[in-house]
Each structure stands twice: as C-alpha cells, then as structure tokens.
C-alpha cells in the first residue's frame, strides 16, 4: 500500500483540530452572533435602548450647568425607583439635539432638555447588559480579553482550516488524475 502524500496527511491532521476548535468555539460564536443581532437593532427597538427624544436645540451658553442636570436626573430617577440608591455611570451630552443623557449603573437612563432641565424620558437600557454578554465583560475584563481574542483567532483558524479541508481534496484528486 503506497504511503499517503503530504497533502493527504495534512488533511488527516487538520480534520480533528478543525472539529475540536469548531466545537469549543461554537458556544462563543453563537452567543456573540445572537447578541450581535440584538445590538444591531438597538437604535430601532425602544425596549433595547430608549430613543433620543426631541428637545429644543439652543446654544450651550443657554444650558443649565452639568451639576444641575445631574441633580435633576438623580431626583427624577430616585422618584421613579422609590428612592433606591443610584450611581451615575456617565453623561452623554448632545448639543446638536439639545439634550443630555445621564446614564446610571444598573442600565437606567434619564434624558433631559439641556436648556430647561425638563425630563424628556426615563428608561432602562437593555442593550447595555446585552453588550456585556456579547463581549464577555459580564464575567470580567480578563475573561473579555481572553474570550474575544480566542474567538478572533479561532475564527481565523477555522476559516483557514475549513478552506484547506475544502480545497485540499480537490488538489489530491487532481494530482491522482495526473498519474
């Protein structure tokens, strides 16, 4: 019985690695793809992320101070949540839309008109926790770093090994046909 060619041996060695890595990465790929679909729709679906409300656009000189906007937002959210302790995560100031979004931990958002302090919307941002699942940071930043790099390199490996497993047999057939 003739010894298999280098191409055939390479194909035989590649298959189990491709299968193993595909199985291991499939969970990460499914989670990333599923949450990615939701994240792509976050601007379209109100339940994922409250849309920016219409505010009166004025010069920044006419706006209330940041400290006033934050205080108004905290009071409005505390009233909505029965005086539960809340912590600010970040501010999103949009002068071109005339509003500021005060974002709190636990994914709450208060939208305020910048010049009047009028509350435009109080809403829960479900896209934020979906994003933490998507990138793995819901577990830890270390897990995010490892899992996203594993996913990236794994997809590259699966793509290249898949191409080889698809194209390699064609090369073997051609070389056998020539003999």
Q: Domains of the chain (ranges plus CATH)?
A: 63-135 (3.10.450)
Q: What is the mean pLDDT of the chain?
A: 90
Is the separation of the CB atoms in 164 and 170 below 8 Å? no
Encode pLDDT of 66-88 as tens digits. 999 999 999 999 877 876 788 89
Can you list the alpha helix ranges (DSSP code H) found in 41-140? 66-80, 126-135
pLDDT one-digit tens code per residue, 13-47: 999 999 999 998 999 999 999 999 999 999 888 88
CB within 8 Å of 174: residues ≥ 6 apart: none
Position 169 pLDDT exceeds 70: yes
Q: In this prediction, what percent of the chain has a pLDDT beyond 70?
A: 98
Say how far residue 55 (Cα) sits from the centre of its chain: 28
Checking if the pLDDT of 1 tops 70, the result is: no
CB 97 within 8 A of CB 52: yes
Q: What is residue 3's predicted lDDT score, i.e. its pLDDT?
A: 79
Where does the pLDDT of residue 140 fall: very low under 50, low under 70, confident under 90, or very high at 90 and above? very high
pTM for this entry: 0.73
């Amino acid at each position: 019985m003739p010894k298999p060619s280098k191409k055939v041996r390479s194909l035989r060695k590649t298959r189990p690695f491709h299968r193993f890595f595909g199985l291991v990465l499939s969970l990460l790929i499914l989670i990333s793809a599923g949450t990615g679909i939701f994240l792509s729709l976050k601007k379209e679906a109100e339940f994922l992320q409250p849309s920016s409300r219409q505010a009166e656009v004025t010069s920044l000189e006419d706006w209330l101070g940041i400290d006033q906007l934050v205080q108004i937002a905290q009071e409005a959210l505390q009233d909505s949540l029965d005086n539960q302790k809340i912590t600010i995560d970040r501010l999103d100031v949009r002068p071109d839309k005339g509003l500021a979004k005060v974002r709190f931990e636990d994914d709450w958002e208060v939208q305020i008109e910048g010049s009047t302090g009028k509350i435009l919307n109080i809403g829960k941002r479900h896209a934020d926790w979906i994003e933490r699942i998507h990138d793995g940071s819901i577990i830890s930043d270390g897990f995010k770093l490892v899992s996203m790099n594993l996913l990236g390199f794994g997809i590259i490996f699966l793509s290249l090994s898949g191409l080889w497993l698809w194209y390699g047999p064609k090369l073997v057939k051609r070389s056998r046909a020539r003999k």
